[in-house]
Structure 1
């Protein structure tokens, strides 16, 4: 229900009730004008326009109670986050993103300019484009939840320009087999098996730390990835399920099985869970522990610094070079979707040009064996 009424003092009052029956009103004051009553009529028109806009927002489902958005971003996040089903790492990342934005600002006062200034500040501070994108997406999730709860009408982060990400083929670092061999040779005895799981099974750092003896099926030559280790507040560890879609079985090479068997025999296992890698207090190692030993290993190997996670790229590149299809690589790496695998490694698969040349070469060699033989003879002579 809505109405407009002229007051005795010449002002106009527009009123309406929202879907919860709460009454809202706004006054449009009368002001003197050269033509008597002219300003009063314009005030009445303004009241009608305001009421029309409110009615339109109600009809289109975009109505927001003017008082609803007066809570701060942090207050809304604290309440909303309690209802979310998140892994520990996700909860930590979400909280960090909100704190780095402006948690004290009221939702109703948020503007696109706030988000743009925040992105600019992170860029100036030297954060990587990928990190900035992740933080903006995390805050955007909170803002969109506020839109769904009708605390704000629109998401102020929508359409904000982010720093350009480097293309995967330029951003990705893949160590050479020689580099991986040097690192393995320089690894401490307990670290040797850890590196092999990353390089030849594609395990993430947290997944490798969480391997138990029972996860290794020596008969079927399979490793069951069922959990991961994450660093919890206070420097402790949290053992959680792997990332969504990452629980999987990895088929192991015979050589890797021999390395794991020798590791278990010489290094032993710890605890009732039979962890094969151990950090402080008999628990599996967390990220800081592994990072420390990884840096030591790189120094000992005298190789250029690269991330332990790059060994996962090394494994993926090997599968692709051997002719494995997208789904095979996806399942081996534990990607939830094949699109993730493609967006990360599409540049490693042979292109149409590569396949066309290889096919044409095969046709030539089958149809003109003498030409193929002369080509091989010429190549031998050049060598």
Structure 2
């Protein structure tokens, strides 16, 4: 029910009741403005887009924390969102009511973050923030998301340049014996660091020379535990080359583990956190002249070996646990052999020679 009445002071009072019976009113200098407002409200009710004006008074931080707690995120992702929002979003926009946040506010946030953070990090923060506003629209907290029309910096896609095999040998030799096999395993299987650190003895099949990758080490504040891999496609079985089998066997002979225990541990017997490994990784890469080289580079090295020895896109995708062949090609397409010579040869074989019948029936034939 809606109505508009003139007040004693000459202003017009427009009012309506929502579905819950709650009255909402605004005052206007002109009747036509009040009627336009009522018409807009009526249209939003009819189209199912009505939002209680007071629903958006909840602050961004309060709503985002509620959103974060009910998401089906992996523990590591949940912790990442918490840290990123706390450090980079809440100080600027956390106390603002949802309904007052405009696209210009988000553009300013992106611009400020881009001054100190990498484009990939800004993209991740903005993607999660956009999901918060999308949920707010679905919950009828706000009518539209302020994220519409906000552009974010596109992360550059650096071209993968695999490390040379000689340098991998040097890197392995530069490591302390306790962690040396971690490097060999990564270079010989393409496993991610969290998958290597989370490897347990029961996942290694020495007889069939295979390793099952179905878990990873998850590190959270005060918690180190095994969790699911990065994605569903990351679950895979990777063949173990002899050099890797020998390295793992030698490692377990020197540092025995229980059948279901971690293959790699610190001297105190606990799992190898990334921070623990960094203390031996950084001196080793400096010693062999690979300053700035990261553990993920061993994954690229493994992919380059497969490609160099004729592996198909599908094989490389399966070994690395990529979600699709598109992801594999986007990363490594430049490493596959150039097909220019093959296409030239294919055409020349078919069109390069003129059949004899064509010569006898060509121009000038009687």
TM range (shorter): 0.7 to 0.9
Change (3 A) 1:121 1:348: same
Q: Deviations over 1:97-119 (max 9, x none)?
A: 32211322211111112111111
Deviation, 1:289, is 0.6
Moved more, 296-305 or 94-103: 296-305
User: TM-score, normalized by length of structure 2?
Assistant: 0.87
Q: Is the 8 A contact 1:97 1:136 kept in 2?
A: no
Say yes or no: does 1:302 pair with 2:289.
yes
Cα distance between partner residues in 1 of 2:128 and 2:43: 31
Q: Is the 8 A contact 1:168 1:345 kept in 2?
A: no
The 3-state SS of whatever aligns with 2:128 is helix
Q: Is the 8 A contact 2:198 2:217 kept in 1?
A: yes
Change (3 A) 1:18 1:279: farther
Cα distance between partner residues in 2 of 1:366 and 1:266: 61
Say yes or no: does 1:188 pair with 2:180.
no
Q: Is the 8 A contact 2:201 2:259 kept in 1?
A: no
Aligned to 1:254: 242
Match of 2:164 among 173, 176, 185: 176
Deviation, 1:348, is 3.1
Say yes or no: does 1:214 pair with 2:198.
no
Cα distance between partner residues in 2 of 1:248 and 1:311: 18
User: TM-score, normalized by length of structure 1?
Assistant: 0.83
Aligned to 1:82: 69
Q: Deviations over 1:118-171 (max 9, x none)?
A: 11112222x1111111111111111211111111122212332222321342xx
Q: Is the 8 A contact 1:73 1:105 kept in 2?
A: yes
Q: Is the 8 A contact 2:79 2:220 kept in 1?
A: no
Aligned to 1:121: 112
1:60-75 matched pairs, under 5 angstroms: 60-75=47-62
1:1-383 matched pairs, under 5 angstroms: 1-29=1-29, 43-99=30-86, 100-101=88-89, 102-125=93-116, 127-169=117-159, 172-234=160-222, 236-245=223-232, 246-269=234-257, 273-279=260-266, 281-350=268-337, 354-361=338-345
Cα distance between partner residues in 2 of 1:135 and 1:320: 34
Deviation, 1:88, is 1.6
Deviation, 1:183, is 0.6
Q: Deviations over 1:221-249 (max 9, x none)?
A: 21111211122214x42321111221211
Deviation, 1:336, is 2.9
Aligned to 1:374: none
Q: Any stretches of 5+ residues in structure 2 without a counterpart?
A: 353-366
Cα distance between partner residues in 2 of 1:77 and 1:308: 34
Q: Is the 8 A contact 1:209 1:277 kept in 2?
A: yes
Cα distance between partner residues in 2 of 1:54 and 1:367: 72
The 3-state SS of whatever aligns with 1:230 is strand
Change (3 A) 1:56 1:363: closer
Deviation, 1:356, is 3.4
Q: Is the 8 A contact 2:187 2:302 kept in 1?
A: yes
Q: Any stretches of 5+ residues in structure 1 without a counterpart?
A: 30-42, 369-383
Moved more, 332-341 or 49-58: 332-341
The 3-state SS of whatever aligns with 1:344 is helix
Cα distance between partner residues in 2 of 1:120 and 1:367: 57
Change (3 A) 1:366 1:290: farther
Cα distance between partner residues in 2 of 1:133 and 1:208: 27
Aligned to 2:360: none
The 3-state SS of whatever aligns with 2:339 is helix
Q: Deviations over 1:264-284 (max 9, x none)?
A: 112222x56321100264221
Q: Is the 8 A contact 1:200 1:315 kept in 2?
A: yes
Aligned to 1:375: none
Deviation, 1:362, is 7.6
Q: Deviations over 1:35-55 (max 9, x none)?
A: xxxxxxxx1110111112222
Cα distance between partner residues in 1 of 2:319 and 2:48: 45
Cα distance between partner residues in 2 of 1:5 and 1:320: 78
Count of matched residue positions in the alignment of Structure 1 and Structure 2: 347
